[in-house]
Amino acid sequence: MKSSQSSRIKDARAAAATLLAPVINGQASLATLDQRLSGMAVSDRDRGFVKALCFGVCRTYPRLDALAGELLRQPFKQRDADVQALLMLGLYQLLHMRVPAHAAVSESAGAARALGKTWATRVLNGCLRRFQRESATLEAKVDRDEAVALMHPAWLVDALRSAWPTSWEALCHANNEPGPMTLRVNRRHTTRDAYLERLAAAGIDATACVHVEDGIQLATPFDVEQLPGFADGDVSVQDEAAQLCASLLAPALADAPNARVLDACSAPGGKSAHLLERFDIALTAADIDAERLSRVEATLERLGLSAGLEAADASATPPEGAAAFDAILLDAPCSGTGVIRRHPDIKLARRESDIDALAALQSRLLDALWQRLAPGGTLLYATCSVLPAENDEQIAAFLARTADASADTPADVTWGAAAGAGRQLLAAQNGHDGFFYARLVKAA
């Protein structure tokens, strides 16, 4: 649908289908959902419903897609991905939301008119009513496929089973639940205990995170703009696993004022900000995407922090004489398999063939950035992946080819599990995301 048409859409379900269509076709992601939704005529009251539909359909997509395959005589054409999305969101409402069944059916089918595809109303109505009649039989049939029942693509189920033979099913179930909302207190402004008191005074239920000093987990998600002191930079949203980055770099930075630090893939800037909140350092935040780098600038501005900004490809061989850094954070581009619950469209977008390409990029980044690390310096490698090819296998290969590199990842910590030369966290229900860390030191 053309943008001029989509901007006139008021119907919530038609809007959700319009937003989901390019995600289903691999042409967009949920990361741009707010931006695209802001260009529609959907009421403020309905925007939360639209977002819940979009995230919910992506989270359960493998199973919804299998059910749709049973209901349709033939699949919709690619140009009708918005109609496909209407069927998906109708099924999602019937299975997972408290929407009255008659509304889920009639409103989802009727939304095809707002898309200019009146012909689809009858098809959608027939499919959804048939599902109501035969749901038990249809669900039992599709759930014979283990991957469908677990709502993950088959290749990923195989990969998780191979990597984590005793916990892969629990990991799939954790991926299917929304992650908790976790905050990071800006210690330059306040303390965690003081901020917990402010939350309690505002009637917001929260507890201190177990593994990090600045983390707070909310009992239920909350509008960030309504959080006490958010606009003043007192607090940010950041998962507990991501906050471990600062703790792991503390030995290199805590007693090193003005240490030169590079955050090589910094956007959107959460980890850069946390380092600046904790340590008196000279930080350069770099990213290959200049537009994404502007998000880092906005993040730092809200928090009252400053850093050098550099739009650069960190995987490129550094020029002769390039500045050396005392510490480098490489939060490497990865499959995102540790944060599926926050980005459920990964289930649609990621392919098995992506992993080798990502691993090759991570390898180039490690080699290039190692050249920019000063002797005796520390490089912290991080991913939000749970796949060994991007994590412990990647670091093992790097150590094998890099004579002046050694692993220094702590073992005496309360989080994660040893994974080669690093530590691996898996997504935990009502807890942290999946992350991998390896701390590397360059010979003096």
pLDDT digits (tens, 9 = 90+) for 120-164: 999 999 999 999 999 999 999 999 999 999 999 999 999 999 999
For residue 325, what are the β-bridge partners?
A: 373
Range list for CATH 1.10.940.10 in the chain: 3-151
| Residue 9, pLDDT score | 79
Stated pTM of the model: 0.95
Residue found by looking up tokens 């469209």 in the block: 345
Instruction: Note if 54 is an active site residue.
Output: no
Catalytic position from the list 54, 209, 334, 384: 384
| Dihedral over Cα of 419, 421, 423, 427: its sign | negative
Residue range 3-151, CATH number: 1.10.940.10
CA pair distance 147, 156, nearest whole angstrom: 9
Q: Which residues of the chain have pLDDT under 70?
A: 1-8
CATH class of the region 240-442: alpha beta
Query: 386 by DSSP, 3-state: which?
Result: coil
| Residue 7, pLDDT score | 59
The full DSSP string for 22-70 is: HHHTTS--GGGHHHHHHTS---HHHHHHHHHHHHHHHHTHHHHHHHHHH
| Residue 8, pLDDT score | 64
Q: What is the pLDDT of residues 335-369, one digit of tens each?
A: 999 999 999 999 999 999 999 999 999 999 999 99
Query: Distances in Å between the alpha carbon of 93 and those of 86, 102, 182, 317?
Result: 11, 10, 27, 51
Range list for CATH 3.40.50.150 in the chain: 240-442
